[in-house]
Structures are given as C-alpha cells and as structure tokens.
Chains A and B, each alone.
Chain A
Amino acid sequence: MSIQANNISKTFGGYKALDNVSLHVPQGKLVSLLGPSGSGKTTLLRILAGLEFPDSLDQSSIRFHGEDVTAVPAGQRGVGFVFQHYALFKHMTIESNIAFGIHAKPRRLRPDKHAIRARVEELLKLIQLEGLGKRYPSELSGGQRQRVALARALAVDPKVLLLDEPFGALDAKVRKDLRRWLRTFQEQIGLTTIFVTHDQEEALELADEVVVMNNARIEQVGDPQTVYDHPASPFVIEFLGNVNRLSPGFRPNRTHKQALYVRPHDIELFPGDADAGSWALDGKVLHVFAAGNYGRVTLQRTLTGEPLEAEIPRERLRKLNLQPGDPVKIRFTHTRVFEQIDATHQELREIIETE
C-alpha cells in the first residue's frame, strides 16, 4: 500500500515539530526517516500512525493507497506500529502480547481459538522465538523483545508497518544482526515499511529510500546512493557520514560566502615536495592511525590552520610513510560547494569534480 502525506504541520505549544511536510512512500518499499533528534521524524511517523493529528485536518491530508485516513483513529488505519521501547504489555506472556490485536477484533471478525493459536505459532516462528511463547517480556533480551513487538504489530495484518527507532535501545552487536534480519524479513513479506532513525549508517544500509529531515522539514528524499553522492544541502552532507568543511579561501576571488565540503575518502595525499598540480593545498600531518584497509590521517591546512581528516588506502599510506609534522600536498578528488544566499539559507550551487 502506498502512502501519501500532504502539507503536514504540527506544533507542540510554541514548538514547531513539522513545517508543511509532504511525503510519498511507494508500495512495498522500505523507507527510512533520518534526522537528528528534534527534526520531526518521530512526529511524522506518529501522525502517519494516527498517534498524533496534524494541526489542521483541512489543510493536511494523509492517504493510504488513495484512501483518505487523515481523521481515522489509530486502531482503524491498518497500521502496525513498533514503539522505540517496544511498549510490550509487561503483565502478559509473549503469546498474549502477540494475540492481543486479534483478540481485540469484533467478535464476527475474530478467528476461532485454534486459528489464533496457529497464527501466534506462525508469528513466533517468523521472529525465530518458537517455544518462548509462555515467557514474559521481562525474561527476554532486548533484541527478542523488539521482535515480539514486531510480531504483535504484524498479527493484525497491517497494510503498513511503522517502526520508531527500532534499534535505538539495543547494543551494537544485536543491532547489526537485527538490522540484517529486518531487511530480509521485509523483502519476504513485502510490506510498505517506514522506520525512524538518527543513525545514518543504519538508514543507508537498510532503506530503499532515505528521507532526510532537519528542523521540521524534509531536506532530501532519494535512494541511499543518490543521497550520499548528491546531497542536496550542507545539512545532508554533514549528517551523512564524516565530512571536512573548509572555509572560503579555496578560491579567494569569490565574494559570496561559501562552504566547501570534502569527504575523507575523497582526499589524496602526496609528499610535501611532490608536484601534485595547481589544485593541491599545502598541509601538515598531525596524527596517523591505521586500522583495516584504510588509514586515518589528521591534517592541518597550512594557509588557514583548519584541521582535515583523510582516509588513505593502507597500501598508499605505507608508501608515503607519513610521520607527525611531515609536510604534505593535499588534493581533493571530489568536492561540493554550497553558497550562502542569505543569513539563513544555504543552497547547493555547484558540484565541482576536480581532476
């Protein structure tokens, strides 16, 4: 089922959580709402679920597969919602938790006891917790609880699955496993799924489409590769992974206020006495650390004193044999320049591919 949200605004007291946001999610996709805390991503998810309502039901609309659900309450939208802290019913067994939504159906729509049991068993199997149905939530690990919350949401055959920071409360190892599991799981059942996260790695790795949010607005929508390679704003480039930000002075003749961004892996280093071309900058090595295939070099730009981070293939690093204090020539293989139009608005002006 596709989701179309139009002109959603939401204020809490005097605080603007969503500012005229519109969003389209195609059928069967796994979409991530990515942004820092306070960007409005969770509010948007809750509005889609019917756990909040937009400020104005006249100007805003939410359509599920063309059907207007703007004023439909949470329980009747056909939405499966997984809460950040799971919100499992503490006093119920796992089975009862999963079966809760089925039991809540009106009598004429409710399957018989055997059918419910079978459905619960099926779901337990799906989340790989067979045999744990009689346990209580407090007897499960965080990752297991998360999967129970998912099964409980799926038990009522939702048309849309919404997850609020699904991995936020888990430790790093479990998070990785569960992430992979969710990816295959979503492909299997093909349910339109939206999840909220503040972890860019999670969003890029997992989602078909990433919606980057900041300051109550959507900054950019696109598939992970596009969003990473062609960020639409300084915010997006800064939020998605490490990036070096350089002040104007790269091309000093320009009058506009500019910011230049370069990713650590888009930096090449040459010995200080090498001829690296006219684009190259002078710099100094501050610190070198190598782990895995890439080494991390902390540099200082001679002209301005700005620090820079570079990721250099280990092989190359060995050849350069850099020591703290060594002079180097710095060359960028890929940079982006954003220009400040006025005091508040920065906009992408050009993408320079040097070389």
Chain B
Amino acid sequence: MHPSKTFRSRNDSPRTPAATAESPAVRLTLIAVTMAFLSLFLFLPLITVFHEAFRHGVEVYLASFDDRHVRHAIRLTLLTAAICVPLNLIFGVAAAWAVTKFDFRGKSLFVTLIDLPFAVSPVIAGFVFIIIFGAHGYLGPLMERWDVQIVFAFPGIVLATTFGTVPFIARELIPLMQAQGRDEEFAAMTLGASGWRTFFKVTLPNVKWGLFYGIILCNARAMGEFGGVEVVSGNISGKTSTMTLHIQTLYFSFATVPAFAMASVLAMLALVTLVLKKRYRMVGDKKRINL
C-alpha cells in the first residue's frame, strides 16, 4: 500500500545473485569475524556470570541469597524500580503524545533534551543531587531544618535512578507513534470520542508492545543502575545498598560466588529483556507486512 512498505519487502527477498554478492571466502571471513567478536565480547561475559555463580554448585549458589543484607538489597532495588518505572512511564507517554501528535516550535530541541541523561555520565547523575540536597547543597540547610534525608538515603537513590532512566520509555514510544501517524486519532475524534477515550482505545493498543518493551527495558536499567546510585547513596550495607552496590561490596570483599549469584539475577533480567525485544520486533514486523 505504502511505497516504503513495498520497498522494504523487496529488501526482504533473497539477495540478488552474483553481481552484488561477495565471494564465498569473503563472506565466510566476515561471518566468522562477526561470530568471534560477539562471542568473545558478549557471550563470554554472560556465560562467565553464571559459571562463576554456580562454580561451587547450586547449594552454595542458593545459600548466597540467605543473607539479611542480600535480601535487603533486593528489596531496595525492587522498591526503587517500582517508583522510578511508573514515573518514567508517565513521562514517556506524555512526551511521546506531545511530540508525535502535535507540531510545535522547538520540538527537535525537546527530543534532544530527552536524550540528555543518556549522554551524561551516571556518576554525574548522582552528583547533581548531592549538589542540590547534600549537606553543602543548595537545599541542604532546608532539608536539615525539615529533617528530610535525601542524599545517602532512599529518596536519593530513587532520584539518581530515575534521572538515568528518563529516556528509555519515551525513546521506544516516539518512533513507534510517529510511524502510526495521526489519522486513527483524528478518526476517533470525528466519531465523537473524548481525548482520554481516543488515547486508551486507539493510541495505546497500537503501541502496546513497544510500551511493554520500553517498561521492561526501563526496569532492567533501573535495577542495574550503578554509578549514580553509588555516588548518592553512600552504599551503607543493609540500609542504602542496592543490588548492584551490594555486588560491588561482595566482590571487593572477595565473596566472589555471592557477588556473581546476585549478578546472575540481574543477568537473567537482561536476558528476559533481550528475548522480549526480539519477540516484540517480530510481532511488529509481522504486522507491518500484513497491512
């Protein structure tokens, strides 16, 4: 129907023969390099995490989790993600709605600003909140007077984590909703639907997989946040130590198996994220071909 779609399908067809193909030797070399590079840099670390975690057997692995500090770290991380992901979800949806359904001046600047936390070092993501809320920060005296602890406490962890994961849901939604266009929403409007109804019944179902993946990715990043949290939390074991911070503590105290056991949980989460992405891209592709 669309020219771009027929264009795409042409490229999906088997590659054109001889004239534009490399010799088998070149092709095999390139494939071999690809496999070697990705195996060495990606598979090997992934396997290592599980290998190290299970090095002394399942029992030792499981025993790693039978620890007050470990369980606290897991709880703290889950709680952080439970606050940070919904916040960034609302932001992502609002930003995507504004950017894709309306034309306004400064749109590209706004989109660039969404990406900003992505370009900034995680250390700085934590540091900015020390500057604001720390003892010598702008609002430090105020916090002290109100007896509110933000830095070296849970709120600081949430702030640094949310800062670092701001772009993920918005970045997933914006290209998707851009591609959807606005006609379906316009159609809903001409049929008398309210804005909320249009959003929930028309817009949202169209991007639900992208949104779902965005949430999962944001969650994985939130649970894996490290640099910013380290700076802002003070890494107090059993108090402000998240999973990644506790991995660090364990690792530097030579508790290798417990460190990798905890790492394996986050690695599993990363794997789930990758699988979901692959699945969602495939669902997306199928839809594109059908219509």
Contacts and interface: CB of A to CB of B under 8 A. Distances in A.
Interface of A: 49-51, 73-76, 79-81, 83, 85, 87-92, 100-101, 104-105, 137-138, 142, 152-153, 155-156, 169
B218 to A, nearest CB: 23
B192 A105 contact: yes
Contacts of A73: 189
Contacts of B189: 51, 73-75
Interface stretch (B18-26, B52-60, B128-136, B194-202): B194-202
A75 to B, nearest CB: 4
A87 B290 contact: no
B179 interface: no
Contacts of A80: 190
A90 B208 CA distance: 13
Nearest to A105: B192
B205 interface: yes
B41 to A, nearest CB: 39
A347 to B, nearest CB: 38
A137 B190 CA distance: 19
29 contacts: A51-B189, A73-B189, A74-B189, A75-B191, A75-B192, A75-B194, A76-B192, A79-B190, A80-B190, A81-B187, A81-B190, A83-B187, A87-B183, A88-B184, A89-B201, A89-B205, A90-B206, A91-B206, A100-B201, A104-B188, A104-B193, A104-B197, A137-B291, A142-B1, A152-B187, A153-B190, A155-B191, A156-B191, A156-B192
A60 B290 CA distance: 43
Contact of A138 (B184, B191, B206, B291): B291
B186 interface: yes
B186 A74 contact: yes
Contacts of B187: 81, 83, 87-89, 152
Contact of A83 (B1, B183, B192, B202): B183
Contacts of A74: 186, 189-190
B287 interface: yes
A89 B184 contact: yes
Interface residues of B, number: 20
Contacts, number: 72
Given A89-B184, A89-B202, A169-B1, A100 B190 contact: no
A101 B291 contact: no
A100 B205 CA distance: 14
A326 B281 CA distance: 66
Given A51-B189, A89-B202, A101-B193, 10 more contacts: A73-B189, A75-B193, A80-B190, A83-B187, A85-B1, A85-B183, A91-B205, A101-B192, A104-B193, A142-B1
Nearest to A82: B187
B194 A104 contact: yes
B192 A87 contact: no
Contacts of B290: 138
The 6 A-B residue pairs with the shortest CB-CB distance, nearest first, are A101-B191, A87-B183, A104-B193, A75-B192, A87-B187, A81-B190
Contact of B190 (A75, A91, A142): A75
A201 B249 CA distance: 78
A155 to B, nearest CB: 8
Interface in B170-226: 183-184, 186-194, 197, 201-202, 205-206
A100 B189 CA distance: 11
Contacts of A90: 184, 206, 287, 291
B184 A87 contact: yes
A160 B287 CA distance: 33
Contacts of A137: 291
Interface string B1-21: 100000000000000000000
B90 to A, nearest CB: 22
B180 to A, nearest CB: 9
Contacts of B287: 90, 138
Contacts of A169: 1
Contacts of B202: 89
A100 B191 contact: yes
Nearest to B2: A85
A194 to B, nearest CB: 14
Contacts of B192: 75-76, 101, 104-105, 156
Contacts of A156: 191-192
Contacts of A142: 1
Among B191, B287, B290, find the residue whose CB has the most chain A CB atoms closer than 10 A.
B191
Nearest to A109: B192
A90 B205 CA distance: 9
Contacts of A89: 184, 187-188, 201-202, 205
Contacts of B206: 90-91
A76 B191 CA distance: 8
Given A85-B1, A90-B206, A90-B287, A100 B183 contact: no
A152 B183 CA distance: 14
A36 to B, nearest CB: 19
A40 to B, nearest CB: 18
A101 B186 CA distance: 12
A50 B193 contact: no
A89 B193 CA distance: 13
Contacts of A81: 186-187, 190
Nearest to B188: A100
A147 to B, nearest CB: 15
A152 B193 CA distance: 13
Nearest to B204: A91
A152 B191 contact: yes
Nearest to A49: B190
